[in-house]
Amino acid sequence: MSTAVAGWEQFSKKKAATWLLAIAVILGAIATLGSTGVVFALLLALMLTGMPISIALGLTVLTFLFFFSEVPTEAVAMKLFTGIEKFEIMAIPFFILAGNFLTHGGVAKRMINFATSMVGHWHGGLALAGVMACALFAAVSGSSPATVVAIGSIMMPAMVRAGYPKRFGAGVITTSGSLGILIPPSIPMVVYCVATNSSVGALFMGGVIPGLMLATLLGLVAWYRAKQGNLPRMKKATWGERAKAFRDSVWGLFLIVIVLGGIYSGMFTPTEAAAMSAVYAFIIAVFVYRDVPFKKVPKVLLDSASMSAMLLYIITNAVLFSFLMTHENIPQLMADWILGHNLGVVSFLLVTNVLLLLAGNVMEPSSIILILAPILYPVAMQLGIDPVHFGVLITVNMEVGMCHPPVGLNLYVASGITKMGISELTVAVWPWLLAMLCFMILITYVPIISLWLPRALGY
């Protein structure tokens, strides 16, 4: 009993210290920055208490509007309902639904078999097959955690059985899974376009070449480390075996053609492509491959609805937060400050990378994009940075954030698959994470990589 009381007292002291720190942050901001600084200080203080980011955003806006502003509550209510009346937002639940049907179905397994038949005989063949399978699955799912789950749950046991070190396999799958948000379709890309009123189709095309380049880079790291460690190679598949593996996976691979081909040809918009992908994923999972029985369909729908509701709730509160910042003229003040201090494009992009990487330590990608994109985007536009290049840059930063602690989603998903601790996984991913950081610098300062394809296609 005394131990329980002591534990409760210790918990209460920690909680009290957190709240005191939060109050100190708010008071310090009021004293030094005035009411404008309170917006960020209050958000930070609420996050320090462990409050979910969506609720912290909403409370920040309401507190500021009621105590520091004269905006009528009717305007707040109107913005709350009209802020998400955007056609592009409908793409998010459809892509989530498609990804869930593909994850529960046998699409991932067939893509892995196809990838293994193509590159399994090289050094680190299974690892290279994992990277290739992640890239293929990324092109149909739009979600990084879904890619890690779908590919990792099959590839990890296979790699361990083949004699690969567990850390090696975990490092490959955790980082390669991040391709899910760079290779289109991508849910964070849709979120960025909603937050900045950018073109979803142009940004999707902008992610194709960087996504393929990053997949190649991650594969090269895996190949080099496998060659150095003399890791197992598989028997080279015959062309007949490769053809069979392709035929088995063609229904899943055809989804790439539907989404990207439909958008590129102008047959339908990205939102309509998302709806088509959801219907197609349902048909091939239930009727073609028959890996998802009818009795599992309600669970898939419920899981998708739950995930969509969580993300849309964050978006709703982020729209209010963006409205508050615009009303208080905060983006313009920041733009004037940056331009007044003669921060050029090079310096601004460096600051943006550092800020996004720091934010990646405490928030998940969608929240980071919804909070920071409306602030940084106007500055980027005044400096003449292309919105597609800026969107790809932010997406690559989100990829890096998903692979490092303390809140890297891929790490936690991979931890559940591999039964490894976060600290051990952090050590496992560092060679690939270092390559991703180098790639991020390349994307930051060589914009043509992101812009060539959209411009060639007339976006």
Q: What is the pLDDT of residues 440-456, one digit of tens each?
A: 999 999 999 999 999 88
pLDDT(25) > 70: no
pTM score: 0.78
Q: How far apart are CA 414 and CA 422, in angstroms?
A: 9
The answer to whether 82 touches 129, Cβ cutoff 8 Å, is no
Angle at 258 between CA 253 and CA 260, to 5 degrees: 95
Q: What is Dmax (Cα atoms) for the chain?
A: 73
CA distances from 245 to 159, 249, 250, 360, 380 (A): 19, 6, 8, 38, 46
Q: How far apart are CA 21 and CA 140, in angstroms?
A: 44
Pick the residue with more confidence: 70 or 241? 241
- Residue 48 per-residue DSSP state: H
Chain centroid to Cα 235, Å, comes to: 35
Q: SS3 helix, strand, coil % of the chain, rounded to 5?
A: 80, 0, 20
The token pair at 146 is: 């879904």
Closest CA to 321 of 93, 44, 64, 31: 64
Q: How far apart are CA 178 and CA 408, in angstroms?
A: 10
What mean pLDDT comes out for the span 411-419? 80
pLDDT in tens, 316-341: 777 777 777 767 776 666 667 766 77
pLDDT in tens, 231-290: 888 888 888 989 998 998 888 888 888 887 887 777 887 788 888 888 988 998 888 888
In terms of Cβ atoms closer than 10 Å to its own Cβ (0-12, 13-18, 19+), residue 307 is buried
pLDDT(1) > 60: no
pLDDT(297) > 80: yes
User: Where does the pLDDT of residue 8 fall: very low under 50, low under 70, confident under 90, or very high at 90 and above?
Assistant: very low
Domain extent listing, the chain: 1-70, 88-458
What mean pLDDT comes out for the span 172-179? 88
Q: How far apart are CA 377 and CA 334, in angstroms?
A: 11
pLDDT in tens, 101-130: 887 767 878 888 888 888 888 888 888 998
Q: How far apart are CA 381 and CA 319, in angstroms?
A: 20
Amino acid (one-letter) located at 281: A
The answer to whether 379 touches 334, Cβ cutoff 8 Å, is yes
